[in-house]
Amino acid sequence: MKRLFVWFAFLFFLAGCGRLADGGAGERVTAVSPPTPTVSPRATPTRSRYANAASRECANPVPEDRQFPLPPWPNTNFCRHSVPYDEFLWGGRSRDSIPALNNPELETIAEAELWLTDREPVLVLQLGDEARAYPIPILIWHEIVNDEVAGQPVVVTYCPLCNSGLAFARTLDGQTLEFGVTGILRNADLIMFDRQTESWWQQFTGEAIVGEMTGAKLTPLPVSMVSFADFKTQFPNGRLLSIYTGYDRRYGENPYLNYDSRFSRGTKFYQGELDDRLVPKMRVMTVVVGDTAVAYPYDILSETGAVNDEVAGQPLVVFWKSGTNTPLYSQYIAEARDAGSAAVYSQDTAGQTLTFTAVEDGFVDEETGSVWNIWGTAVSGPLTGTQLTSLNGNEFFWFAWAAFRPDTLVYGTTDGAD
């Protein structure tokens, strides 16, 4: 009887954990979509050039002391992996229990304004002449969107634990992949899987690290994390991921309440050593030039508004502006504190190297007096209409970035650029 009681208690615990990012019975639902969500059939794994014919013939491919459940992965080739299995940690969620969105519905800015407030964050992907925004109040519940933008299959991802929004082209060697959420983490970062081979992919790098496709790497696409207000100002005809997803979720609410405490050393599901050059959950805008990575802390950026710097011979500027709420602190994202947003651009444009200063309505260059916005677009002055070249910076929590790039220089410290 004692064993039976413990077993039922364990099941009850799992049921409770499953409510973290699922809509539970009796919970308020913001929106329910009329269309039925796309459910992809379980694909038959296909061989790829990354697999070795004898690669499934290995002894004890997954150690018995692993920290993740094995039964949901009968088709994953665990004989192929590029990182040790003891680096993986089960996040308490089963495969697909955080459901990815596939070929989602879109909505206009006017439709989004019915539920999305100006300060709520969106992840913006621009390909060609098409700009699309993925509201974080939706992404925080799904983490992966398999979409097509400007005719290109893409996967848009957001890892709440790392505060990392990244996008990739999902066509590789002529094959279009479709991704889902494993429920497994590495360095607290999202591990994705493709439904074609059931290989596991690291969100941070876009690289397959377990399975048939180990060693394959997705092509990253530039994205920006900004406020809804900044998106609609720059792209008045842009479209957004629709709130009508087909799933019952409390869009607009944060299932990771109080996670984003800037001075807390608590890092859920992270087991590695912390780089104490910054507090773990300091937001940083990161840029990589050649082999040199630099992190710009938001506490410095918020004081200056613009940082002129040079990394590996590349003159660059980091812009920061207020008005973008954190999605990971308050219960309602619309009421959260202002975390701001940042972007990185080359200072070289129009045949000269510009030097920038933050002003009330944007950023002004000292050379021509032109005024620029957070998108790197000159909105007034002699260079009106000129576009700065993006250096594809990305926002992360410091602990997550440092786990993957420990060689990073930190701006404003003795080892960093300044």
Lowest average pLDDT, out of 139-143, 361-365, 414-418, goes to 414-418
Domain assignment present for residue 21? The answer is no
Beta strands in 150-258 (DSSP E): 152-159, 164-169, 171-172, 175-176, 179-186, 189-194, 200-202, 207-210, 219-221, 223-227, 239-241
93 and 237, same domain (yes or no)? yes
Question: From CA 397, how far away is CA 280, in angstroms rounded?
Answer: 7
CB atoms within 10 A of CB 354: 25
Lowest average pLDDT, out of 53-67, 160-174, 230-244, goes to 53-67
Domain boundary residue, one of 211, 241, 271: 241
Lowest average pLDDT, out of 5-14, 138-147, 240-249, goes to 5-14
240-268: average pLDDT: 89
268-277: average pLDDT: 89
Lowest average pLDDT, out of 10-24, 167-181, 275-289, goes to 10-24
226 and 90, same domain (yes or no)? yes
105 and 197, same domain (yes or no)? yes
DSSP lists the bridge partners of residue 378 as 372
In this predicted structure, the answer to whether residue 294 has a pLDDT above a threshold of 60 is yes
227 and 367, same domain (yes or no)? no
Contact partners, residue 2, CB within 8 Å, separation at least 6: none
Q: What is the dihedral of CA 76, 78, 80, 85, to 10 degrees?
A: 130
Nearest CA to 21 among 186, 158, 156, 121?
Answer: 158
Domain boundary residue, one of 241, 256, 291: 241
- Round the average pLDDT of the chain to a whole number and report it: 88
303 and 366, same domain (yes or no)? yes
Burial 33-70 (b: 16+ CB within 10 A, else e): eeeeeeeeeeeebeebebbeeebeeeeebbeeeeebee
Nearest CA to 202 among 40, 90, 80, 83?
Answer: 83
Give, in order, the Cα–Cα distances in Å from 132 to each of 30, 128, 226: 22, 11, 12
Question: From CA 379, how far away is CA 374, in angstroms rounded?
Answer: 11
Domain assignment present for residue 38? The answer is no
Domain assignment present for residue 25? The answer is no
DSSP lists the bridge partners of residue 137 as none
Summarised one tens digit per residue, pLDDT across range 120-162 is: 999 999 999 999 999 999 999 999 999 999 999 999 999 999 9
83-100: average pLDDT: 94
Q: How confident is the model at residue 65 (pLDDT cuts 50, 70, 90)?
A: confident
Lowest average pLDDT, out of 2-11, 255-264, 398-407, goes to 2-11
99 and 157, same domain (yes or no)? yes
Domain assignment present for residue 324? The answer is yes
231 and 138, same domain (yes or no)? yes
Domain assignment present for residue 348? The answer is yes
What range defines the domain where residue 188 resides? 85-241
Domain CATH code at residue 347: 2.102.10
295-307: average pLDDT: 98
169 and 303, same domain (yes or no)? no
101 and 214, same domain (yes or no)? yes
If one counts the domains in the chain, the total is 2
342-367: average pLDDT: 97
**Sequence letter at residue 247:** Y
Q: Which residue has the higher pLDDT, 223 or 261?
A: 223
Domain assignment present for residue 405? The answer is yes
Domain boundary residue, one of 209, 241, 273: 241
Domain assignment present for residue 2? The answer is no
309 and 376, same domain (yes or no)? yes
pLDDT of res. 111: 99
Lowest average pLDDT, out of 10-24, 52-66, 321-335, 384-398, goes to 10-24
Question: From CA 326, how far away is CA 64, in angstroms rounded?
Answer: 39
pLDDT of res. 271: 85
168-195: average pLDDT: 97
In this predicted structure, the answer to whether residue 389 has a pLDDT above a threshold of 60 is yes
pLDDT of res. 59: 62
223 and 351, same domain (yes or no)? no
Domain assignment present for residue 106? The answer is yes
Q: How confident is the model at residue 60 (pLDDT cuts 50, 70, 90)?
A: low
Give, in order, the Cα–Cα distances in Å from 264 to each of 112, 169, 256, 299, 380: 34, 35, 14, 15, 41
What tokens appear for 304 in the block?
Answer: 């200056």
Alpha carbon 385 to its chain centroid, in Å, reads 30
pLDDT of res. 4: 39
399 and 290, same domain (yes or no)? yes
Question: From CA 255, how far away is CA 267, in angstroms rounded?
Answer: 16
Helices of type H across 47-133: 109-112
- Residue 74: φ, ψ to 5°: -70, -20
Q: Given the structure tokens 């594809």, which residue do they identify?
A: 392
In this predicted structure, the answer to whether residue 48 has a pLDDT above a threshold of 50 is no
